Amino acid sequence: MIDRRRFVLMSVATMLPRHASAAWRRPGPVPTTFDYGPAKLDIYAPDGARNLPVVFFVHGGAWRFGKRSQVNAKPAFLLANGFCFVSIDYRMLPQADVATQAGDVERAYAYIRANIAQHGGDPNRIVGMGHSAGCHLIALTGMRGGLPGIAGLLLDDTRAYDLAALAKNGGMVGAYERVFSDPAQWAALSPATYIEGRKHPPTFIAYSRAAGRGELSAAFAERLRASGTTVTLFDGSAYTHMSINRDFGEDGDALTTAALTFLRSTVR
């Protein structure tokens, strides 16, 4: 006999897509939460972990929304493949501007670099990863040298690599226009500003089919390559802006396969 609660749960499961239903039923790894100063972060580590490479993740949300728990299959997938995983919160607009958010990312990274060994991670093998606004923040802090010792950057779908070029091409609309309303700040908040004259870690750049992503990502990749940086450019035009993040870690996902190859080559 099936009780009412079990019947409701089974009914909900049948309405979900097959892969979503499986993920919904399968509990993911449980993180340990820490306060790094401005906000909190979650550390996911396998039992008995020791000297594992680390993926340091910054969520998206138009610089106004989002939270560190929105990680989908990333922790389970990366732990199963020999990594620790860290996801951070940072202060949101309008309480904190983008420059402050970038400072939060750098403080969270410094905390992880100083403490991750206690949780089985290797502080010298950390790869920074971000999606959307988080992609911009990882690119910005990584390019300007704010993530010292970072082993690599995994950049997942933003238009905010070069804000002046974005405005010139008519791309400073919607959330971008509201977030980057002061042209006097564009240079300082553009990852592209910091390309020349610095040594950059290997960089993986993925883009979705959302407007402008392919052209702007390719231009950023070309400038990085000209500086001597090793760059992998992933054509994610099969993805939407949301699915290119949401599907990471799912079985058979093409971006996941390419990113794992990059990660392993970067922190081997």
What CATH number is given to the structural domain containing 118? 3.40.50.1820
Tell me the β-bridge partners of 138.
Answer: none
Instruction: Give the per-residue pLDDT at 226.
Output: 96
Q: What is the pLDDT of residue 26?
A: 57
Q: What is the mean pLDDT of the chain?
A: 91
Q: How confident is the model at residue 119 (pLDDT cuts 50, 70, 90)?
A: very high
Query: Which of these ranges, 23-32, 81-90, 98-107, 237-246, has the smallest mean pLDDT?
Result: 23-32
Q: Using the predicted structure, report yes or no on whether residue 16 has a pLDDT greater than 50.
A: no
Residue range(s) defining the domain that contains residue 140 = 32-267
Which pLDDT value is given to residue 121? 98
Residue 15 falls inside a structural domain = no
Structure tokens at 206: 């993925």
Position 5 pLDDT exceeds 50:
no
Confirm whether 16 is domain-assigned: no
pLDDT at residue 23, rounded to an integer? 40
- d(CA 207, CA 161) in angstroms, rounded, equals 12
Q: Is residue 25 part of a domain?
A: no
- pLDDT higher than threshold 70 for residue 72: yes
Give a yes or no: residue 27 inside a domain. no
What are the tens digits of pLDDT across the range 145-189? 999 999 999 999 999 999 999 999 999 998 999 999 999 999 999
60 burial class (0-12, 13-18, 19+ CB within 10 angstroms)?
buried
Residue 8 falls inside a structural domain? no
Tokens 């804000």 sit on residue? 163
Q: How far is CA 96 from the centre of its chain?
A: 19
**Amino acid at position 189, single letter:** L
The answer to the question of residue 24 being in a domain is: no
Q: Does 20 reside within a domain?
A: no
Domain total for the chain?
1
Residues 6+ apart with CB under 8 A from 102: 137, 140, 141, 146, 189
DSSP secondary-structure letter at 39? S
pLDDT above 90 (res 20)? no
The pLDDT score that the predictor gives to residue 28 is 84
- The per-residue pLDDT for range 40-69, each reduced to its tens digit, is 999 999 999 999 999 999 999 999 999 999
Positive or negative, the CA dihedral 110, 114, 119, 121 is positive
**pLDDT higher than threshold 90 for residue 75:** yes
Across the range 199-225, mean pLDDT stands at: 97
Identify whether 18 is part of a domain: no
